[in-house]
Amino acid sequence: MTGIGFDLLATDGRARRGRVTTAHGTIETPAFMPVGTAATVKAMTTDAVASTGAEILLGNTYHLMLRPTAERVAQLGGLHRFMNWDKPILTDSGGFQVMSLSDLRTMSEEGVTFKSHLDGSRHHLTPERSIQIQHMLDSNVTMCLDECTPFPATEAQAESSMRLSMRWARRSKDAFVERPGYGLFGIVQGGIYPEQRAESVAALTDIGFDGYAIGGLAVGEGQETMFRVLDFTEPLMVKDRPRYLMGVGRPSDLIGAVRRGVDMFDCVMPTRSGRTGQAFVRRGTINIRNARHAHDERPLDADCGCPTCRSYGRGYLHHLFKADEMLGPMLLTWHNLHYYQDLMRTMRQAIADGNFEEVAGTMEARLTEGDVEATLDPIAKPGKPPKQGRPPKKDRVEEDKTDE
C-alpha cells in the first residue's frame, strides 16, 4: 500500500460509508476525531477515549512544535508512543493557530513568522517546516500548511488567500516523504465564493493528494452558509478519496455535512463543553450546573450506554461541578465523546442500510425537543416551586452557551 487507502463501501444519496486504512489501523467513516491538541484529549486517558469507539485522534503541529518540540517527541518514539495511542493520528498543520495570532505574526510568500504565545520566542513556519514537524511526530495523516481565509472576506481577499494556499500545497506535496500507510491531505479554500472553491478543488486535484479537506468554514459564517458552501464544493471533489470538514462541529452540523458527502470531522466542542458543564444528549444539550438537576437521579441520557450514564445521576454530576471537583469535567467529557461516536455509528449503519434520510430526520427532530421535564425536589424548602424545566433565575444558565 502506498499512502493511505480508502474504500467506499456504500452510498445513500450523497452520504458515504467508507473505510480509511493507515499504518496504524483502519478508520470507519463517517468518523469523528477527538481533539488531542497537546498530545492529550483533555480530561481523558487514551484507554477511555478508545472505549468510546474513537479510531483516530487529532494532534496540533503549532502547540507540539512549541512544547515539548517535535524533536523531543521524535526522541521519545513519536506521537503514538509518546501519548500511548496505537491507532491513527492526524495532525493539523498549525496554520489555523498561527493565523489567529494576528498581533504576533507576519506573513510572506515564504511562510509565517510568529511569536510564541508561551514565551514570546520567534519561530518561522513554512510549508516545508510544517511537513517536517509532522513527519517527526509520526502522524498518519499530514495536513498541508495553508492560510485559513478569515470571515468575512471580500472575493478578492479570498482569491488571494486561496491562491497562496495552493502554492503552499504544491510545496507541501514536494516536501512530503511518501511511505506505506501515511498520507497527505490538501485543503480546499476560497471562502464562501463558488468560483474560488472550484479553482481550489481543481488545483489540489491536479497536484494529487491522499485526501482532501474543506477548510475555512466554522469560522463564524453560520450553518446555513456552511451548508451552502458544501453544496457547491463537494460535487467537484474526487469520489475515491476521503473528504474532511475541518473544525466541525455540533451534532446538527455533522448530520447535515454527512448528508452532503463528508467523511471525517474534528472539533473541540464535545471536550470543551464537557469541561464547562454542557452535555450533548439526543434531545439537545444540558447544562448540568443548572439547579433543576441538583435532586435528579436520572442519567444525562436514558438512551446512552456510556460509563457516565450507566453509573452516575444528574444530581451527582451537578454536585461535582458546583464543588469544582475534577471528576465532573472528566465524566461529562467521557459522555460527550461517547455520544459523538454513537452519532457517527448510527449514521454509518443508516448509510449501509439505505435509510439515511429517515434516520437523520429522526435524529434532527429529537435534537430540537429539549431536555426531559424537570422533577420536583422532594426536600425543597416551602415556597413557590420553579417552573418545570427552568431553574430559579439566580441559578439559571443558558443551555446553549459554551466558551467556543
Report the candidate in 191, 255, 207 with the shortest Cα–Cα distance to residue 30.
255
Report the candidate in 164, 100, 87, 94 with the shortest Cα–Cα distance to residue 134.
94
Q: Is 267 annotated as a binding residue?
A: no
Q: Is 92 annotated as a binding residue?
A: yes
55, 239, 288, 385 from 381: Cα distances, Å? 49, 63, 21, 9
Q: Is 108 annotated as a binding residue?
A: no
- Residue 249: asked if its preceding bond is cis (omega within 30°), the reply is yes
Q: Is 102 annotated as a binding residue?
A: no
User: Is 403 labeled as catalytic in the residue annotation?
Assistant: no
Q: Is 146 annotated as a binding residue?
A: yes
Cα separation, 360 vs 229, in Å, equals 20
Q: Is 185 annotated as a binding residue?
A: no
Residue 73 has a CB neighbour count (10 Å cut-off) of 23
Q: Is 148 annotated as a binding residue?
A: no
Q: Is 94 annotated as a binding residue?
A: yes
Q: Please identify which of the residues 253, 263, 266, 301 carries the catalytic annotation.
A: 266
Cα separation, 12 vs 234, in Å, equals 15
Q: Is 95 annotated as a binding residue?
A: yes
Which residue matches cell numbers 515539548? 68
Q: Is 335 annotated as a binding residue?
A: yes
Q: Is 189 annotated as a binding residue?
A: yes
Report the candidate in 336, 339, 359 with the shortest Cα–Cα distance to residue 349.
359
User: Is 92 labeled as catalytic in the residue annotation?
Assistant: yes
Q: Please identify which of the residues 92, 210, 253, 263 carries the catalytic annotation.
A: 92
Q: Is 210 annotated as a binding residue?
A: no
Binding residues for substrate: 92-96, 146, 189, 216
Which residue numbers are catalytic?
92, 266
Binding residues for Zn(2+): 304, 306, 309, 335
Binding residues: 92-96, 146, 189, 216, 304, 306, 309, 335
